[in-house]
Structure 1
Amino acid sequence: MKKRVLFYVAGIIATFSLQSCVSNYVVSTPTNYSNEYKTNAKLASIDNKKLEVAKAQLLNSFAQEKAAAAKSMEAAIKKEEIAKAIRFTQKIDEILSEAESYLGTPYRYGGMTRKGIDCSAFVLSVFSAAGMNLPRVAAAQAQEGDSVEKEHLQKGDLIFFSHKGGNRITHVGIIESVDEEGEVKFIHAATSRGVMISSLNDSYWGPKYRFAKRVLTPEAVESNFANN
């Protein structure tokens, strides 16, 4: 009888122990998964915010780099334009300096030296010294370059004349200056006094003026600059 009672008691105890283990196992497992899910969700939320911040920073960095590159390019273009303007001005000064070095040189028809020179040879020699080629005679030089209206004349332009009226070109000179009042002075080899400076307001040269050509341009100077 005692043995049977002890057997029942042992069975009851074992049953309660097993239920306790199962109960503990079932409860603890969902609790751990629930915490892990919540933790992952929180981390995902933090990662998305960081991602958006990083994306915004990257876009801002690209925008800054693009703006800096555009500004640098603009500065480079402006610098090059200034350099071109300086080269053009220097070329004009070079030509006029060469022309003025002939002042007082006697006129000689067909002459091409400082001992004696005619108008077209004078222009040819001056521009050749500056690295620019022109035809030998005035009529052919008049075919070069771009036409320029009288009110837009500037230093270095060529001006052409006709001694006998009409359109037959017989004389050429180089504009030496244009003042604020519009008076145009030019340097040329005149038959009377050799290489000299005259004004288009002159009663002799004014009526004989026909037109002007611009053979010295920034493009021509740059082409000459690139080839040297």
Structure 2
Amino acid sequence: MKKRVLFYITSVVATFSLQSCVTNYVVSAPTSYTSEYKSNAKLASIDSKKLEIAKKQLVSSFKEEQAVATKTLETIVKNEEIAKAFRFSKKIDDILTEAESYLGTPYRYGGTTRNGIDCSAFVLSVFGASAGLNLPRVAASQAQEGERVEKSELQKGDLVFFSHSRGRISHVGIVESVSEDGTVKFIHAATSRGVMVSSLNDSYWGPKFRFAKRVLSQEAFNSNFANN
């Protein structure tokens, strides 16, 4: 009887001890896991903020570099356009310098030299020598070249054409200057006084003016310049 009672007591004590161990194990494990989870979550949050900051800095840096690159490109393009305009202006000045070197040359029908020259030979000689441009021999054919230009849009180097009684084109000159008030002066080989400068506003040439042509444009000149 005593042995049986002792066995029961031993069994009960063992059972309570086992439950205590299991309880301690189950309770202590989640405490450690939760703490580690919170720590990892905090680190992940910090890393996420750092990543977001880095992304913003990268985007900002990219935008700044893009803005600088765009501005640099615009400056290059602008400088190139200025350079093109300068080269063309210089070429027109070369043409007019060549034309003015003929001032005083006597007029001679069919003439092609500085000893005597007619209007169309004067124009083709000037453009050929200073711009390498090959124009037809007679004024009527030269009138077929280039693009038409309104009188109000005339520029130095444009060609102006004339005729008597609105007939066939019989005379040509080169625009030498355009004043702020719109006065156009041109250089040409006139039958009366040879190579000289006249105005489109004068009583003789004004009524005989028919139209103007631009045989050397800035676009064509710069394209040819780039290819050479």
Instruction: Report the TM range for the smaller structure's normalisation.
Output: 0.7 to 0.9
Which position in structure 2 is the counterpart of 1:47?
47
Q: Distance in 2 between matches of 1:101 and 1:223?
A: 28
Which position in structure 2 is the counterpart of 1:200?
200
CA contact (8 A) 1:186 1:199 kept: yes
User: For 2:40, what is the secondary structure of its paired residue?
Assistant: helix
**Aligned-pair distance for 1:182?**
2.0
Which position in structure 2 is the counterpart of 1:127?
127
The Cα offsets for residues 24-68 of structure 1, whole Å up to 9 and x where unpaired, read as: 655543332222111111111111111211221222122222222
List aligned pairs for 1:1-228, cutoff 5 A.
25-129=25-129, 130-162=131-163, 164-228=164-228
Q: Distance in 2 between matches of 1:118 and 1:166?
A: 21
Q: Distance in 2 between matches of 1:101 and 1:195?
A: 10
CA contact (8 A) 1:154 1:175 kept: yes
What amino acid sits opposite 1:154 in the alignment?
Q
Which position in structure 2 is the counterpart of 1:7?
none
CA contact (8 A) 1:161 1:170 kept: yes
Q: Distance in 2 between matches of 1:206 and 1:22?
A: 120
Sequence identity percentage:
75
Q: Distance in 1 between matches of 2:181 and 2:219?
A: 28
**Aligned-pair distance for 1:23?**
6.2
CA contact (8 A) 2:166 2:208 kept: no
User: For 2:224, what is the secondary structure of its paired residue?
Assistant: helix
CA contact (8 A) 1:189 1:195 kept: yes
CA contact (8 A) 1:131 1:224 kept: no
TM normalised by structure 1 equals: 0.85
* Deviates further, 105-114 or 140-149: 105-114
What amino acid sits opposite 2:65 in the alignment?
E
**Structure 2, unpaired ranges of 5+:** 1-10
**Aligned-pair distance for 1:15?**
9.3
TM normalised by structure 2 equals: 0.85
The Cα offsets for residues 198-218 of structure 1, whole Å up to 9 and x where unpaired, read as: 112222222221111111211
**Structure 1, unpaired ranges of 5+:** 1-10
The alignment covers a number of residue pairs equal to 225
Computed over aligned residues only, the root mean square deviation of the Cα atoms, in angstroms, reads 2.8
CA contact (8 A) 1:119 1:188 kept: yes
**Aligned-pair distance for 1:133?**
2.1
Q: Distance in 1 between matches of 2:28 and 2:182?
A: 103
